[in-house]
Chains A and B, each alone.
Chain A
Amino acid sequence: MGIVTPGFRGRGRDSAPELPPGQYLTHDFPVLSAGPTPHVETDDWALTVTTEAGARSRWSWRDLLALPQETPTVDLHCVTKWSKLGTRWRGVSLDVLLEDVETAADFALVRCFDGYTTNLPLEDLLDGQAWVAHEYDGEPLARAHGGPARLLVPHLYLWKSAKWISGIELSDTDEPGFWEQLGYHDYGDPWREQRYAGD
């Protein structure tokens, strides 16, 4: 730990209740980006799931909205150490999207309109743990936060909840994504503080 500067508290941090280790509470919704925000019109938006056998399923924006919607309220934990509690979303559960997808794959590589990728085990996308979210706090999801639609996997660090999602590739092998290639954790459980490979 560095030298303490008396009186410095940092932005809007409260004495935190039960947070994962090393996390601080924030009331903002910081925008963290690896590049320029892509402009994706809902007319051009589509989500493609590709199985390990090469079979594709595709949903347009209309298709997505026609599916049963859920409204999860979840806590977010960013690896840059802020956590935001009780965030309200609307979107489609991955259980619904993957219901008719024929696969025995163990891993998913998520692809995005801006070229970003992230990897996670397929089972972490299932059983009510993940959504393709398109509304935040009752409003259409802002572009800066991943609109028109982003992945939401709140039980893992937020870099797994890829903004501007365009596809999911299912595979038998775990292929590291954009940050995982540098040494960030392939799984990323905030409660076990899995920030970096080997944690």
Chain B
Amino acid sequence: MTDEHGEPAPLDGNGLGGVLGAFLGVDVTDAILVCDGCGRQQVLAALVVFGAGPGGVARCRGCSHVMLRVAEIRNELVVDLRGTTRLRLRRP
């Protein structure tokens, strides 16, 4: 998805809710994540998400650090969390 200047117009973490929910069985868009780059705390729904490539890339809204990478690989969901220091989930 691009805007009129051909720039990618990112989505946000709400858009990742479907694929994550399909595998995890719980909604995680309200999970709280702490950025490994700048320490900012934010809900998953508020992350900046680039979704059109081989997978989804979620970046910190403060410093643009890559916090999550998500891909559906065959029948698996793979989530790379190396940009996230801490992840907090509410009991469903």
Contacts and interface: CB of A to CB of B under 8 A. Distances in A.
Interface stretch (A32-40, A55-63, A68-76, A120-128): A32-40
Main secondary structure of the interface of A (DSSP, over half): loop
B59 A182 contact: no
Nearest to A34: B57
Contacts of B73: 182-184, 196
Interface in B33-81: 50, 52-55, 57, 59, 64, 66, 69, 71, 73-74, 76, 78, 80
Contact size range, A:
20 to 34
Main secondary structure of the interface of B (DSSP, over half): strand
Contacts of A32: 52-54
Given A179-B71, A182-B71, A30 B52 contact: yes
Contact of A144 (B2, B55, B66, B74): B2
Contacts of A144: 2, 6-8
A87 interface: no
A199 to B, nearest CB: 9
A31 B7 CA distance: 8
Interface residues of B, number: 21
Interface of A: 30-37, 79-80, 115, 142-144, 159, 178-179, 181-184, 196
Nearest to B6: A144
Contacts of B59: 35
A159 B74 contact: no
B54 A184 contact: yes
A179 B66 contact: no
Nearest to A79: B54
A167 B37 CA distance: 23
Contacts of A181: 69, 80
A39 B84 CA distance: 26
B50 A34 contact: yes
B82 to A, nearest CB: 8
B54 A179 contact: yes
B71 A184 contact: yes
A184 B55 CA distance: 10
A115 B67 CA distance: 13
Given A30-B52, A33-B8, A79-B54, 9 more contacts: A31-B2, A31-B52, A34-B57, A36-B7, A36-B64, A37-B7, A80-B52, A181-B69, A184-B73
